[in-house]
Structure 1
Amino acid sequence: MTELSYRRATIGDAKLLYEWANEPLVRKASFYSDTIIWENHVAWFKRKLKDSNAQILIFESENRAAGQVRIENGEEAIIGISIDEYFRGKKLAPMILKMSCKEFWKNNNNPVFAYIKTDNTASVKSFKKAGFKFERNDCVNGNDCFVYKVKNY
């Protein structure tokens, strides 16, 4: 089994997250698929790092960054994940999702929701393997999506 560790994101991760966020596959899976502008990303990222309702974790494996998860706790706690291209297909996402939720639940007891575009079968499989259950169909920014939910375990 692959060794995984995580840490909270810092401002030093801005470039890494920017590069991941602008990868073509990540943009395609996003509900807002326009290319992200660097200055906008930095301003957004600085706000998120200070936001007590946002948890951004960087996961590492094989001594390199493997992916990131953000959970934003608002009306619903909403989770998003991206995996570094090198690590895609290595089945790390379910473990990363479980670890992220457990970290979130140290300070919250809210269920966590994932909004996934209907054509993103890889993400659907990963969330199911992480214990998320189908909740409903929805539409975000004109994109049909599935909503999956997991409760504290």
Structure 2
Amino acid sequence: MSLLNRSSLRELTSSHLDLILSWRNQPFIRSVMYQDEEITFEQHRNWFAGIQENHTKQVKVFYFDDQPMGVVQISVDEQNKRAEWGFYIGEPQAPRGIGKIMGYLAIEYIFHQLSVQKLCAEVLSINAKSIQYHKKLGFQVEGILKEHILKDNRSIDVILLSLFRKDWNERRVEILKQIEGRII
């Protein structure tokens, strides 16, 4: 069976809240986020309520073999046909390469269901793995916000990346072949 057929993006519901909070509070996730303090359940519940009220934001839970593995958050600027995304694989035992499948599904959804022209990302410069991940999906570096945030008394740069729909449409078949060539 195709790896993509074993995967899906589903709407975030209140039934996901405990799991998502446990993922988000893992040190390996927190360390590469803007906000790296542990989140309380009350803060998490308020975040969920805000998502429910804001039509420009969506959160999807990524499933593989009917098991939740990660999260994709999307903010859409409809007027400018632009979106920003953030994501993580939260499941520590997730199969290797699962992030590329999640990225593929999310990008397809963003460009072809939400009809945006440009997808933007902000990645902390200390997160080399995410920067490389974005580049493998076709993102280009657009700029650097120098010493943009403070973490552990260190100034950290933020890398600005983007992917245009026209460029994705040229790369998507190649990326799909890479995904389908994997054995998980």
Does the TM-score normalized on the shorter chain lie above 0.5?
yes
Greater C-alpha Rg: 2
Task: Give the drift of 1:16.
Answer: 1.4
How many residues were matched structurally? 152
Among all aligned residue pairs of Structure 1 and Structure 2, give the percentage whose two residues are the same amino acid: 20
Q: In the superposition, relative to structure 1, how do residues 108 and 141 fare at CA in structure 2: closer, same or farther (>3 Å)?
A: farther
Unpaired runs of 5+ residues, structure 2, are 151-155, 170-184
Report whether the alignment pairs 1:43 with 2:46.
yes
Deviations 1:104-130 (A, max 9, x none): 231232411111111212111221122
Unpaired runs of 5+ residues, structure 1, are none
Question: How far, CA to CA, are the matches of 1:102 and 1:148 in structure 2?
Answer: 17
What SS class does the counterpart of residue 141 from structure 1 fall into? strand
2:87 aligns with 81
Report whether the alignment pairs 1:103 with 2:109.
yes
Report whether the alignment pairs 1:150 with 2:150.
no
Of the candidates 129, 133, 137, which is equivalent to residue 136 of structure 2?
129
Task: Give the drift of 1:33.
Answer: 0.8
Of the candidates 9, 19, 23, which is equivalent to residue 12 of structure 2?
9
1:71 aligns with 74
Task: Give RMSD over aligned pairs.
Answer: 1.9
Q: How high is the TM-score relative to the length of structure 1?
A: 0.88
Q: How high is the TM-score relative to the length of structure 2?
A: 0.75
Task: Give the drift of 1:23.
Answer: 0.6
1:91 aligns with 97
Is the CA contact 2:8–2:105 (under 8 Å) kept in the aligned structure 1? no
Is the CA contact 1:32–1:141 (under 8 Å) kept in the aligned structure 2? no
